Amino acid sequence: MPTIKKSVKFSGVGIHSGAPVNMVVKPSRRRGIFFRRTDLDKNLIPVKFDNVGDTKMRNTTIGDLDSAHVKTIEHFMAAMFMAGIDSAIVDIDGPETPILDGSAIEFYRAISAAGTTGGKIKRVFVRRPVYVGAYDVFRSLPFWMRAKIWFMNLLTRRNIDGFVKLTPNDNNSLNIYATLVYREKIIGYQSFSYTYDGTKKSVADFVKNIARARTFGKYAEWEYLKKRGMARGANENNVIALNDAGDGTLNKTFWPDEFVRHKIIDAIGDMFTSNGFIIGNLESYKGSHAMNNMLLKKLFSNPDNYDIIDA
């Protein structure tokens, strides 16, 4: 039951609310990662795939949107996983984690510097292939939402495609292979792979090649979203903004394929809502938080799909 050695505080603004938020990650004797909304009822909100309330706004929300919840937990969760921590209480005084620089690096640096104590994260071995397609997510939506997506796709000549897939491997690692396909030329077709096997080398690889990759979005969408109370905290310091022509960015990128590298952070964070180290190959082709969440639900819905080893 590895937990954090001492408390760490993060302050910043939420990417959607734009409001200041403080969050303190504290050691815990209870297994699991729990948020506690100090501005509300202070009930524990377990960070668990079966307690994911919403994935529509391109982020992962824990808890019910109608009651105590915390949005955009994925970058923080990726950092916790890489630091080897599966148990903590996270006091937070708002509905969303601070976006910081839009990547996982600040979370990771501070959490790993605080240190880890008390063993290892349990391992979850994938035993049978599990697959979720974009269409499976579409089908699960309420009728009005399906109608809206269907209509929008017709207008923009888009299809419902993409999938995420977990398959077994025998090298004791989580291998992630992610692909993005965008019409915007600056992204186009990008793939990136990353392997975590629990060694320091694989953590160093994460820090060097993945952790700094930031969230991205279309600049033209910001104004639209901001009017609707979303993306209010988005700025050129925490989001890579694509220009209107789609052939460039308004701020500098660290790498030309920073976009797909960021997808790997999201995938690591989402997979860690299992509270385990998933041993398997994760292939994500135009994947999403919604697909990642459905994939975990499917994996754990049948005991033949996995084995848990808690050393």
Asked if 303 and 151 count as a contact pair (C-beta separation under 8 A), the reply is: no
Query: Any catalytic annotation for residue 16?
Result: no
Asked if 198 and 172 count as a contact pair (C-beta separation under 8 A), the reply is: yes
Classified as helix, coil or strand, 55 is coil
DSSP string, 113-162: HH-EES--PPEEEE-S-EEEEHHHHHHHS-HHHHHHHHHHHHHHT-----
| Binder among 258, 266, 270, 283 for Zn ion (CB under 5 A) | 266
Interaction between residue 106 and Zn ion (CB under 5 A): no
Sketch the per residue contact string, 211 through 250, with Zn ion: x for CB under 5 A, - otherwise: ----x-----------------------------------
Which of 65, 67, 82 lies closest to 198 in space, CA to CA? 82
* Residue with Cβ nearer Zn ion (97 or 215): 215
Nearest distance, CB of residue 6 and Zn ion, angstroms: 27
* Residue with Cβ nearer Zn ion (107 or 163): 107
Among the listed ranges 43-51, 111-119, 209-217, 285-293, the one in contact with Zn ion (CB under 5 A) is: 209-217
3-67-133 Cα angle (round to 5): 75
* Residue nearest Zn ion (C-beta atom): 266
Identify the active-site residue in 16, 75, 262, 289: 289
Interaction between residue 283 and Zn ion (CB under 5 A): no
Interaction between residue 96 and Zn ion (CB under 5 A): no
* Residue with Cβ nearer Zn ion (2 or 269): 269
27-29-30 Cα angle (round to 5): 110
State the number of binding residues for Zn ion (CB under 5 A): 2
Nearest distance, CB of residue 118 and Zn ion, angstroms: 28
* Residue with Cβ nearer Zn ion (96 or 266): 266
* Residue with Cβ nearer Zn ion (112 or 215): 215
Among the listed ranges 103-111, 112-120, 196-204, 265-273, the one in contact with Zn ion (CB under 5 A) is: 265-273
Give phi and psi for 297, each to the nearest 5. -60, -40
Amino acid letter at 280?
Answer: G
Sketch the per residue contact string, 18 through 57, with Zn ion: x for CB under 5 A, - otherwise: ----------------------------------------
Nearest distance, CB of residue 265 and Zn ion, angstroms: 6
Asked if 257 and 190 count as a contact pair (C-beta separation under 8 A), the reply is: yes
Sketch the per residue contact string, 152 through 171, with Zn ion: x for CB under 5 A, - otherwise: --------------------
* Residue with Cβ nearer Zn ion (258 or 266): 266
Q: What is the C-alpha separation between 201 and 101, in angstroms, rounded?
A: 24
Nearest distance, CB of residue 18 and Zn ion, angstroms: 17
E strands along the chain, which residues?
3-4, 8-13, 20-26, 32-37, 44-46, 52-54, 61-63, 69-70, 87-92, 116-117, 123-126, 130-133, 163-167, 174-181, 189-196, 215-218, 239-242, 277-285, 306-309
User: First CA to last CA across the chain, in angstroms?
Assistant: 10
Among the listed ranges 114-122, 193-201, 207-215, 287-295, the one in contact with Zn ion (CB under 5 A) is: 207-215
Site residues, Zn ion (CB under 5 A) = 215, 266
Catalytic residue IDs: 289
